[in-house]
Structure 1
Amino acid sequence: MLETQDKLSHDFKEEAKRHGFSPVGIARIPGSNRIKMRTAALQRWLDAGYHGDMRWMEAPRRQSIQTLLKDVQSVLVVGLNYYIDAKISDPDKLLVARYAWGNDYHKVLEKRLKKLGRWLEQRKANCKWKICVDSSPLLEKAWAEEAGIGWIGKNSNLIDKKHGSWMVLGYLLCTEALTPDKPSTPLCGNCQKCIEACPTHAITEPFVVNAQKCLAYHNIENRNPKLPENIEKSMGKWIAGCDICQDVCPWNHQTMVSSKDPDVQPHEWVLNLSKDKILAWDDETWKKKLKNSALKRIKPWMWRRNAKLGNKAVNCTKLEK
């Protein structure tokens, strides 16, 4: 009995859910006109220099998913909820963006997506597949929107009705023709809370973020010993990433599902960072702390730089519901 496209697509998504992913959706290549619109928007963003020193964003392959896998026909897009209902009320504690509280999500996503690829191989022996995470040259949020798992908000984060924007994204490209889901409909309406809350005005207009004004860009990517003066004054307690534009989003103010997934549970040291600890830890201690963390991009000397600035807090945000 031949397996139908709809049956395979349904089972594939159910298998993804069994690996802890939610939401899950499928998009077909080349996608709708919105992919062309998002691709053009990416080029305008690059032309404006808003990507700063992130030269990898310029990769031509990012603007053509067909270059990532020969004969690609479909892409499975998955979200992994990383929201943990934890509170940091100690005013002396320094803050790390929620996505980095647990294990390195790149490795978590890759490991689980590989299992999905092998599952697909068993059902379709001739199917070729490739996994991608946010380190891959893929127009990731646009394809997530196309697959119906959320819409791109005005702060450029992907938002889902159930999980808000607290999720990381993974992709499995394949040569099998799968049944696509309906693309998401944007639901931000007239809300501009994220734009208004950004202390450095990095969201220059709805859906456009100038990385060179973004706190997270500077405390993670900026390799200069001294950060721009406006960034230093605005960083507050955020020494690794920044969740300000997510904390104020109404879609993140609903009753959120606190993830029980072991891979996203916070490392103890992440929730208990202080300036004194950071300055006291030597490079070897940092190596051990960061062994299974997505924060390895922040070198020990950068942690120390950021911690010193954290003492100038003017924008401390308590991570409370």
Structure 2
Amino acid sequence: MPSAEAARLARAIKAWGAELGFQQVGITDCDLATAEQHLAHWLGRDMHGEMHWLAHHGSKRTRPAELVPGTLRIISARMDYLPEYQANIERALADPAQAFVSRYALGRDYHKVLRQRLRRLARRIEAQVGAFGYRVFVDSAPVMEKPLAQKAGLGWIGKHTNLINTRGGSWFFLGEIYCDLPLPADPPAEDHCGRCKACIDICPTDAIVAPYVLDARLCISYLTIEHPGPIPEPLRARMGNRIYGCDDCQLICPWNRFAHQTEETDFLPRNGLDTATLLTLFAWDEDEFLKRTEGTAIRRIGQERWLRNIAVALGNSDSSPVVRDALNARADHPSLLVREHVRWALAALGG
């Protein structure tokens, strides 16, 4: 493909991406040598906890052409998901009776939304150039999405390890198209964190152990979603009312004053999960849990972890007869994991 034609196609891809609801589309090559070194060092310190899949697949994660042979370029795209004003989120986090769910998980499962849009983008490209080799990814394979997005100019990886954009903050999802088209690569984004360490200071469990280094074993998002076993006791009281994920480092980031609320109705809260109380959610049986979380990212943790997380949050709430009654009602739950966290919560409440 001649360079002028490739440049025109790259511009068209970005325009088509905007039409499909992406806030930005960028293009990069396959060189992830620096990210590969960082990943190896991080894994060597066992900071991935129980996320063993991060160490699998050999070098396919950091060498795109090994994962998808023939890959020359990665088309990286971002889509805003912030469902409400940040002040509303902060109020929810400050209410010990309310269940706090990370805002990315309140609506439809983002994997489905972005994958569908990226496939439509790929078909637009195909209609223009004919058949070409590609694969679409949305957090669904060994893909280094944040280093790729930084190289594609979508933002920089902040000290909290999330991607930050100067015009859009960090409340957005990422997705990729690996392709064999020789498109011109965009310049990488520069780091604009400067001397700010607000995210490090605000982290409830001190999981950001150094700038740009997150110890997943301490992170509330990891503990409430990825971690399958008992939550370490020293961390439970520090989790507050966070039952699925944690948004503190994003809420405090000064760049998020430029964040935009989403225009995607799929990302708006479902089933009142943005305002639900801990007691309401703790009372759900398994059928109701499955029904109420259908189509969301929450369902994949299962009801057992859901109850584990809420039990901890109830242990951090205001002690009252109704809270203790709710916990006692689960004291004989079939799951040892749930029973153990219920006992801890009752002890934390003093009875």
TM surpasses 0.5: yes
SS at match of 2:260: coil
* Structure 2 residue aligned with 1:297: 300
* Structure 1 residue aligned with 2:210: 205
State the Cα distance separating 1:297 from its structure 2 match: 2.4
* Structure 1 residue aligned with 2:236: 232
2:278 is aligned with 1:279? no
**Deviation digits for residues 93-140 of structure 1, max 9, x if unmatched?**
110111111110001111111111111111222311101111210111
Contact 1:75–1:172 under 8 Å retained in 2: yes
The 2-side partners of 1:27 and 1:238 are apart by: 36
Higher helix share: 2
Instruction: Report the count of equivalent residues.
Output: 308
State the Cα distance separating 1:301 from its structure 2 match: 1.7
SS at match of 2:266: helix
The 2-side partners of 1:99 and 1:313 are apart by: 23
**Deviation digits for residues 40-70 of structure 1, max 9, x if unmatched?**
0001011110001101111221121112222
* Structure 2 residue aligned with 1:270: 273
State the Cα distance separating 1:152 from its structure 2 match: 0.2
The 1-side partners of 2:13 and 2:301 are apart by: 36
**Deviation digits for residues 277-316 of structure 1, max 9, x if unmatched?**
12211111111112110112221121111111112338xx
Contact 2:159–2:213 under 8 Å retained in 1: yes
The 2-side partners of 1:37 and 1:190 are apart by: 22
Question: Looking at CA atoms only, which structure, 1 or 2, has the larger radius of gyration?
Answer: 2
State the Cα distance separating 1:255 from its structure 2 match: 4.6
Matches within 5 A, 1:19-38: 19-30=20-31, 35-38=32-35
Contact 2:76–2:174 under 8 Å retained in 1: yes
2:223 is aligned with 1:218? yes
Contact 2:35–2:62 under 8 Å retained in 1: no
The 2-side partners of 1:121 and 1:244 are apart by: 41
Structure 2 unaligned blocks of 5 or more: 318-351
State the Cα distance separating 1:39 from its structure 2 match: 1.1
Q: What is the TM-score with the length of structure 1 in the denominator?
A: 0.92
Name segments (4+ residues, structure 1) moved above 3 Å: none
SS at match of 1:185: coil
Q: What is the TM-score with the length of structure 2 in the denominator?
A: 0.84
Contact 1:65–1:138 under 8 Å retained in 2: yes
2:62 is aligned with 1:57? no
**Deviation digits for residues 148-173 of structure 1, max 9, x if unmatched?**
00000000000011221100100001
State the Cα distance separating 1:10 from its structure 2 match: 0.4
* Structure 1 residue aligned with 2:314: 311
Contact 2:161–2:213 under 8 Å retained in 1: yes
Matches within 5 A, 1:236-275: 236-252=240-256, 254-275=257-278
SS at match of 1:180: coil
Match for residue 48 of structure 1 among 40, 45, 50 = 45
State the Cα distance separating 1:273 from its structure 2 match: 2.2
CA RMSD of aligned residues (A): 1.6
* Structure 2 residue aligned with 1:318: none
State the Cα distance separating 1:210 from its structure 2 match: 0.6
Contact 1:29–1:73 under 8 Å retained in 2: yes
Structure 1 unaligned blocks of 5 or more: 315-321
Q: 1:102 to 1:122 in 2, by over 3 A?
A: same
